[in-house]
Structure 1
Amino acid sequence: MKNYVIHHEWKIIEEGFKPELNRISESLFSIGNGKMGQRANFEEKYSGDTMNGTYVAGIYYPDKTRVGWWKNGYPEYFAKIINSTNWIGIGIKINGEELDLATAKVLSFTRELDMQHGLLSRRFVAELKNGNQIEVCSHRFVSVAATEIGAIRYTVKALNFSGEIEVSPFLDGDVVNEDSNYDEKFWVEVSRAVGGAEGYLTVETLKTEFQVCTGMWFQLLKNGEKVDSKISNRDKEKYVEALQKVKVSEGGEIVVEKLSATVSSLYYEKENLVERTKEAIDLAVDAGYDALFESHKNRWLGKWKTSDIKIEGDVAAQQGIRFNIFQLNQTYSGEDERLNIGPKGFTGEKYGGVTYWDTEAYCLPFYLSTAPQKVSKNLLVYRHKHLQKAIENAEKLGFKNGAALYPMVTINGEECHNEWEITFEEIHRNGAIAYAIYDYINYTGDKEYLAPTGFEVLLGISRFWSQRVNWSAEKQRYVMLGVTGPNEYENNVNNNFHTSYIAVWTLKYTLEVIDYLKKEFPFLFEEMVKKWKFNELTETEQWKDIIEKMYYPRDEKRGIYLQQDGFLDKDLTPVAELSEEDLPINQKWSWDRILRSPYIKQADTLQSLYLFQENFTSEELKSHFDFYEPLTVHESSLSPCIHSILAARIGYQKKSYEMYLRTARLDLDDYNNDTEDGLHITSMGGTWMSFVMGFGGMRVVNGRLTFNPFIPESWKSYAFRIDFGGAHLEVTKTASIFSILNHSEIEVPVTIWGEEYRIKGNEIKEFKK
């Protein structure tokens, strides 16, 4: 664990130049706006260790899968949101010597991310080999108001010399992905043009043939006045540059303002890309840097107004939760139903940047509570649009009759994960997608989504489950063979509890939906029966039989469900008894040793207990937690949040806080030694859950908001905001009082510590326990 980020309520601050931590900082200080994003690479040249990353949402490359042994049904490619044209570049030369912090003497250095306003800043003093000392201050943002625009203000001050400064803003499309399976570049040039202060570069992906046009404009100011000296231009394949020189006196400074636009064929016809990019640049230039930032800042303030969480008395926890909320808000805006949330967002290449089950299980609740309803609905629509692909995915594996298996990893509905045991066995993702439909409707009350959109997805998934089980003559039960649960430190196991439990739950819920549709939308339901050739009597009778006769491995002595068959055959030595040299086991142990161990990567059996808390007694929740948590290494970013929520539910308040702090500061403190690859965006949704559902004890039960709140001992108070039923509520907890302020005219029914109340419009109500 690293702890070099300075604690601050609204900012992420790095003091001092630390080349060995640069990749981590590039991830931590990333910025984005839902349509594009940028790692915190330096604008000027940097020859040290770095991973350049500029990402455009929805633009991907199908990198051919590289395996030693091909298997039937194996995905042919691994989709990647790829490194795109670098728009931030500004070359700087001081009296002919290029500025490069890897070779210069860095006298002071500060990097800062202002989360409240979405602004990345950097300030440093450096001495070049020629003895010239400069002070540089850069500000950069990717606009959340004008989502095609990125802007930079870059100031250079001559500290101990007079002479010439050369600036050369550029666009570079000759970029690489470090995770390329065959070390190939993914872009070819379509066109380039540069003249004066403007430049445009259009590149196209191999195979998928997406096009992205990036434009730039810049101006150079000296002591507040625009420099009108000659601008030279240079270009080569996939690269355009403008160059301008200016004389400065000791103590003088120059300012480079660079505006960029990134436009893709996802939104415009290819033949119009350059024209559209020029229009975007012109509008940005007319507005100017200051006005662009003002609009961007105000949009961020609006986001915080509805999604902020305030903590009084714990700066580390405050910084952590705001960092998570900030990254979630800049990763996904919900405006485009074709887009989803990659595990790394716009901060790195790992995982391909495409959709996993993480979205439904960990991110949907955040957007349900903090964003307009269409945002979370579009996450469901994304899956419905991929239903036919999910059916094709299942057909490749031998399933029939419209059975749907949603992919473990996808960007267009096709499975593109490149690990056998996960691609074919980690099928609980189907259950997560089914649960997301329930979660959305349970929270919003939008039952019309079921007719027919939600039903069609549930039908396909239920058909899959009904074909995936086996009847065991020996057990006289249905069994689920050859699966991998959420705990990926177990592969190809039989009767994983979570997979079987959520499969049965899906069948039950689909039966409930059918009853609802037959009653409320009978004619539409009949159309669906014909469209999907749904033999209601035969298929639902089979579902009911599976529901009644599903086998779940259980230890009666301990009174717990087992993660899978044979789990008790393992050496159940708790994690606390391992030596420091053993941890993390995913970096210290062989895969063979991990598979034979009892150690759990993330919540597995406990995942079901979290989702379906109402189905278990408090004693059952406690006994399962007491057995499984000591065996959990939490080496998945998705693990601490579920444990935090369950710990709060059973009264383990210190454990809940411990797990919360771990998930909230997972990346900030680099808990798992992997932040350099990019941030864990989807687990950040889990961080929000651990706060609101853990500390706040919030659930929606039978259409009512319920709260069972507590406050960590070291805190003075906390407050969070949620949207529910058209109302906007501000929830506050101190050591002695729990209160809800209704910022709307709508009356809201709530349950607090088991007692029912109603919060009238514009009313604040206080509760004590």
Structure 2
Amino acid sequence: MMNYTYGKGEYENWIVSETEFSPDTLGKCESIMYLGNGYMGLRSVTEEPYLKEVRNLFVNGTFNKFGEGEVTELPNLADVSRIDLRIDGERFSLEIGNTENYIRQLNLKEAELIRQFDWTSPKGKTLRFRFRRFVSLDNLHLIGMKMEIENGNEPVTISFDSGIDGRMTNSGTQHFLEGEKRIFDKRFIQLLQHTTESKIDIVMNAAHKVLVNDTELKNPLMNIDRRKIWLTFEAELAPGDKLEMEKLTTVYTSIDRPFSEKGTTLQKLREVALQDLKTSLDIGYDELFQKHVQAWKERVWNRYNLHIQTKDGFDLLSLRFAIYHLTAMAPAHDERMGIGAKALSGEGYKGHSFWDTEIFILPFFIYTNPRVARSLLTYRYLGLEGARKKAKENDYEGAMYPWEAAWPSDGEVTPVWGAVDIVTGKQTRIWSGYIEQHITADIAFAVYQYYQITGDQDFMDQYGYEMVFDTAKFWASRLEWNEEHGRYHINDVIGPDEYKEHVNNNAFTNYMAHFNMKLAINYYEELKRNHSPILNRLNEKLNLDKAYSLWLDRSEKIYLPEPNENFVIPQDDTYLQLKEIDLTKYKQSKKVGTLFLDYNLEQVNQMQVTKQADVLVLFYLLNQVEPFFNEEVKRANFHYYEPRTLHDSSLSLSTHAILANDLGDTQLAYSLFRRAAEIDLGPFMHSSDHGIHAASIGGIWQAAVCGFAGIRLEGDRLSIHPKLPDHWEELTFTIYWKDEPVSIKITKYRLTIRTKGEKEIPLTVFGERHVCQGELEISYLSK
């Protein structure tokens, strides 16, 4: 059972708690309480093992392909979290004996996992357990663990095994060759792993410090077995005695910078990794933890400065939860790496990156941490190699971005087969990697959004222009001329609504392709006027003069579905003619995908039912470029598509929340925001078994800041149009505009904007133009 009210004092609305232990619902807390720092993610599994546990430790970028017929995935590294405890020689488990005062908590403020409980053995012996764990934001290679056991009423013998277990798999797939195992000085454990296909070396070191009543236990029993290395400790505890264990682990790989540079040997990597562990052990758990806490304070909480005065503390907790996870998932240290759909919290989607990053996650970083945003977009620039390869394989020009991406140069890594077809009993074909192509334009939009908000000309000169030009070349080659209608179509695609496969003229895809080509035209003309050397360089590489003439012609002739007599834009050529069914039970279901208990995908393809926001996300994006769609059209489409949308994708709810707020239905907007927050934080205990919903977490922040606060890009201006929920008294946060920090405070009656520098920031507030330099205060009681 989840509880969010345990935080008191300075920790109020900072604590995510599980208050009952259940061996059948382990996955949720393993995922939502996972610990990460962008370099690695450690699933928050219990120390003692259980049948339904999933032990995962991932290091970003270490992709490996097990064999032919499989796709590359983030491999599950050796486990360091398991501790095999024995009480008087018998295996310790919460499935036996009696447990009281159980609680497992993630402290978002300090990024620490804590678990504690009182336990009485079957023989009546009482013990108090407390476990702590963190993945350091101060030292990206460091994992810290601490265990405390206090004895109660009778003498007891405690023994436990702890080390590094390389027998981990990804759902049965072993990605590593067995490497060398060593124990130095009866204390420092080292395991080497080597990926089977990508040839990446992993060096893991661990060390323990075990005390009984402040006296250190030495000379543990040393053990080495196949793919496993560990130490065994044993102690006799009298009533009132206390055992403490500190375990520190360092994780290094051969793709880490600077070790990925030529000339770096495995031996050098081993030496650096081991020395880091020795230095950390000298410092000790408590001081290392305080360094970690300080890093979170300075780099995260003080920077983003987000706070709500609200009658419902869950809203504030959910936004802090979002910022915590956005920090834990982002590889700020290395632009060669992206963000997986499950972040680093589980094996779902194999660590692959989708359009989730650009549309749902990236805006948080563009507005609040442009350096990280630039890194994530540079990852896509490095992915041009794979995108060009995919385009060529499909007989197109330019760059055709993969639907699922791993290492930048890998290209398309979407699996071919998925879940069962309930009608045929066969595996369902996954068409996304072949025909869900809108991601190419989504990435171009992200470049546009980043440039408009940050003004980062250096990024554009080095990377951005080339990305936009090459993606526009793809769309120009992708268009199909329809002689009957005298225009270009885009046929046989999947739009954001993945319940509609092999459709023609998906509105989102067509409009975004048009945007991509028009953006390329604008950038080409701008460079020709003002930066001809850059244009000449790119022209020589990409033959832009020829491409430019094609963009001019084809962007004017592409079919853009227009509103019908009811102001509804058809999602695709056939959607409005499909049959309608009663969706009530599916919309009310607490589980996603229940539609597929009654129908297969082929049948769903013939119904007016939508998986996620499609036309509506188009409104949200393109109205940041120019006023493509007026409120009448937005309102008509919202009221048409919302009843037909099951929100079976976690990406959907936040966009609907933002659009509902734009249309003045703040109550519905808040309801949708709350549902988005409850995808991971809600009471359903199997919602996050395979990992957190990274895009939804980015959407939670967007629903609050871009929705309720009304922060939006409007051409070359920052637009602010706040509409707070009824029970929110105040919302404050900090964003960046053209590298200038902007502090924003919103109440029911007043908007206050403060800047630190001397730059003038052009604003649109409630449709009126303003300039802020220093401070601007606007009252809007009458709005």
Same fold, judged at TM 0.5 (above): yes
Distance verdict in 2 for CA 1:555–1:515, change over 3 Å = closer
> Contact 1:30–1:37 (CA<8 Å) still a contact in 2?
yes
Matched, 1:275 2:271: yes
The equivalent of 1:69 in structure 2 is: none
Matched, 1:383 2:380: yes
1:159 is matched with which residue: 135, 152, 172? 152
The equivalent of 2:208 in structure 1 is: 218
3-state SS of the aligned residue for 2:465? helix
Shift of 1:104: 4.0
2:239 is matched with which residue: 240, 250, 253? 250
The equivalent of 1:408 in structure 2 is: 403
> Contact 2:381–2:463 (CA<8 Å) still a contact in 1?
yes
Distance verdict in 2 for CA 1:63–1:4, change over 3 Å = farther
Shift of 1:237: 1.8
Q: Distance in 2 between matches of 1:406 and 1:612?
A: 20
Amino acid across the alignment from 1:767: S
2:190 is matched with which residue: 200, 217, 226? 200
3-state SS of the aligned residue for 1:18? coil
The equivalent of 2:304 in structure 1 is: 307
Shift of 1:296: 0.4
> Contact 1:5–1:668 (CA<8 Å) still a contact in 2?
no
Shift of 1:669: 0.8
Matched, 1:590 2:603: no
1:399 is matched with which residue: 378, 396, 418? 396
Shift of 1:672: 10
The equivalent of 1:71 in structure 2 is: none
Shift of 1:486: 0.4
CA distances 1:537-559 after superposition (whole Å, capped 9, x unpaired)? x4323222222222234452212
- TM score, norm. by length of structure 2: 0.92
The 5 Å alignment of 1:635-654 reads 635-654=648-667
Unaligned runs of 5+ in 1: 67-76
The equivalent of 1:74 in structure 2 is: none
Distance verdict in 2 for CA 1:558–1:522, change over 3 Å = same
Q: Distance in 2 between matches of 1:722 and 1:7?
A: 30
Matched, 1:296 2:292: yes
CA distances 1:402-437 after superposition (whole Å, capped 9, x unpaired)? x21110111123101014410111000001011011
Matched, 1:374 2:371: yes
The equivalent of 1:492 in structure 2 is: 502
The 5 Å alignment of 1:514-553 reads 514-534=524-544, 536=545, 538-553=546-561
> Contact 2:567–2:632 (CA<8 Å) still a contact in 1?
no
The equivalent of 2:45 in structure 1 is: 41
The 5 Å alignment of 1:77-92 reads 77-92=70-85
Q: Distance in 1 between matches of 2:469 and 2:374?
A: 19
The equivalent of 1:471 in structure 2 is: 481
1:286 is matched with which residue: 260, 273, 282? 282
Q: Distance in 2 between matches of 1:16 and 1:263?
A: 36
Q: Distance in 1 between matches of 2:275 and 2:716?
A: 48
Amino acid across the alignment from 2:130: C
Q: Distance in 1 between matches of 2:148 and 2:2?
A: 30
> Contact 1:192–1:201 (CA<8 Å) still a contact in 2?
yes
Shift of 1:460: 1.6
Q: Distance in 2 between matches of 1:207 and 1:645?
A: 44
Q: Distance in 1 between matches of 2:507 and 2:2?
A: 38
Distance verdict in 2 for CA 1:542–1:7, change over 3 Å = farther
CA distances 1:217-237 after superposition (whole Å, capped 9, x unpaired)? 1111122x1324432111112
- TM score, norm. by length of structure 1: 0.93
The equivalent of 2:99 in structure 1 is: 106
1:347 is matched with which residue: 345, 348, 351? 345
Q: Distance in 2 between matches of 1:750 and 1:462?
A: 30
Shift of 1:579: 7.8
CA distances 1:678-720 after superposition (whole Å, capped 9, x unpaired)? 1011221121111111001111224322100011112222222
Amino acid across the alignment from 2:41: G
1:459 is matched with which residue: 448, 469, 481? 469
Q: Distance in 1 between matches of 2:582 and 2:301?
A: 41
> Contact 1:563–1:605 (CA<8 Å) still a contact in 2?
yes
Distance verdict in 2 for CA 1:505–1:145, change over 3 Å = same
Matched, 1:18 2:18: no
Amino acid across the alignment from 2:396: F
> Contact 1:314–1:714 (CA<8 Å) still a contact in 2?
yes
CA distances 1:189-217 after superposition (whole Å, capped 9, x unpaired)? 22111242221111111111111111111
1:623 is matched with which residue: 636, 640, 654? 636
> Contact 2:66–2:173 (CA<8 Å) still a contact in 1?
no
Shift of 1:746: 4.3
Q: Distance in 2 between matches of 1:161 and 1:316?
A: 43
3-state SS of the aligned residue for 1:756? strand
Q: Distance in 1 between matches of 2:102 and 2:760?
A: 52
> Contact 1:606–1:624 (CA<8 Å) still a contact in 2?
yes
Matched, 1:689 2:712: no
> Contact 2:306–2:731 (CA<8 Å) still a contact in 1?
yes
Deviates more, 1:137-146 or 1:600-609: 600-609
Q: Distance in 2 between matches of 1:409 and 1:573?
A: 32
3-state SS of the aligned residue for 2:284? helix
Q: Distance in 2 between matches of 1:754 and 1:374?
A: 30
Shift of 1:574: 6.2
Identity over the aligned pairs, expressed in percent?
26
> Contact 2:35–2:134 (CA<8 Å) still a contact in 1?
yes
Q: Distance in 2 between matches of 1:7 and 1:143?
A: 24
Shift of 1:652: 1.5
Deviates more, 1:493-502 or 1:189-198: 189-198
Q: Distance in 2 between matches of 1:586 and 1:7?
A: 37
Unaligned runs of 5+ in 2: 8-12, 417-429
> Contact 2:220–2:231 (CA<8 Å) still a contact in 1?
yes
Distance verdict in 2 for CA 1:477–1:579, change over 3 Å = closer
> Contact 1:585–1:594 (CA<8 Å) still a contact in 2?
no
3-state SS of the aligned residue for 2:26? helix
> Contact 2:586–2:595 (CA<8 Å) still a contact in 1?
no
> Contact 2:88–2:158 (CA<8 Å) still a contact in 1?
yes
Matched, 1:767 2:779: yes
Q: Distance in 1 between matches of 2:542 and 2:645?
A: 43
The equivalent of 2:728 in structure 1 is: 715
Shift of 1:348: 0.5
1:168 is matched with which residue: 136, 161, 171? 161
> Contact 2:110–2:296 (CA<8 Å) still a contact in 1?
yes
3-state SS of the aligned residue for 1:246? strand
1:184 is matched with which residue: 146, 169, 173? 173
The equivalent of 1:54 in structure 2 is: 57
3-state SS of the aligned residue for 1:275? helix
Shift of 1:673: 4.9
Q: Distance in 2 between matches of 1:590 and 1:411?
A: 32
Amino acid across the alignment from 2:255: L
Shift of 1:354: 1.8
Shift of 1:301: 1.0
Shift of 1:612: 1.1
Deviates more, 1:668-677 or 1:480-489: 668-677
Q: Distance in 1 between matches of 2:711 and 2:664?
A: 15
3-state SS of the aligned residue for 1:417? coil
Q: Distance in 1 between matches of 2:276 and 2:244?
A: 22
Q: Distance in 2 between matches of 1:346 and 1:452?
A: 29
CA distances 1:593-620 after superposition (whole Å, capped 9, x unpaired)? 3222211111111121110122111111
Q: Distance in 2 between matches of 1:362 and 1:289?
A: 36
2:622 is matched with which residue: 594, 609, 612? 612
The 5 Å alignment of 1:124-143 reads 124-143=117-136
Distance verdict in 2 for CA 1:286–1:616, change over 3 Å = same
